[in-house]
């Protein structure tokens, strides 16, 4: 299986990301996306899920109506890695294409 990706930490990753926040109790990145409808939110999740499978890196997330709350961390590494940065950047691009707006996420 090989070694897990190297942990870089949320503090190191945040400058490369727009609108993401450090989780208060974990080495993780958080963000909330809001869409116009449930269908748009679910479409976003479907689009991201396909990328996550290719990357073999999966988000922790929760969907309520038109919102998607996301937490990214690499469990094998015990914190944030480059995989989380790639996933966050992909999610931002996908949300932009699908009309989503990024918001702060309460922990």
Which residues on neighbouring strands pair with residue 22, listed in sequence order?
29
> What is the spatial distance between Cα 49 and Cα 103, in angstroms, rounded to a whole number?
20
Q: What is the pLDDT of residue 9?
A: 92
pLDDT tens readout for residues 78-87 = 999 999 999 9
pLDDT over 80 (residue 3): no
Listed by start position, the domains of the chain span 10-103
Tens digits of residue pLDDT in 22-43: 999 999 999 999 999 999 999 9
* DSSP string for residues in the chain: --PPPPB--HHHHGGGSSS-EE-SSSS-EEEEEE-SSHHHHHHHHHHHHHHHHHHT---EEEEETTEEEEEE-BGGGTB-BHHHHHHHHHHHHHHHHTT-EEE----
**CATH superfamily assigned to domain 10-103:** Transcriptional coactivator/pterin dehydratase (3.30.1360.20)
pLDDT reported for residue 97: 92
**Does 60 score more than 80 pLDDT?**
yes
């Amino acid at each position: 299986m090989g070694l897990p990706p190297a942990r870089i930490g949320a503090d190191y990753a945040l400058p490369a990301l727009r609108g993401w926040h450090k989780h208060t109790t974990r080495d993780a990145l958080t963000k909330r996306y809001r869409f116009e409808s449930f269908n748009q939110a679910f479409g976003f999740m479907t689009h991201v899920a396909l990328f996550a499978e290719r990357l073999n890196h999966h988000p922790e997330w929760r969907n309520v109506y038109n919102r998607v709350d996301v937490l990214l961390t690499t469990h094998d590494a015990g914190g944030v890695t480059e995989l989380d940065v790639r996933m966050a950047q992909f999610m931002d691009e996908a949300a932009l294409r699908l009309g989503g707006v990024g918001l702060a996420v309460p922990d």
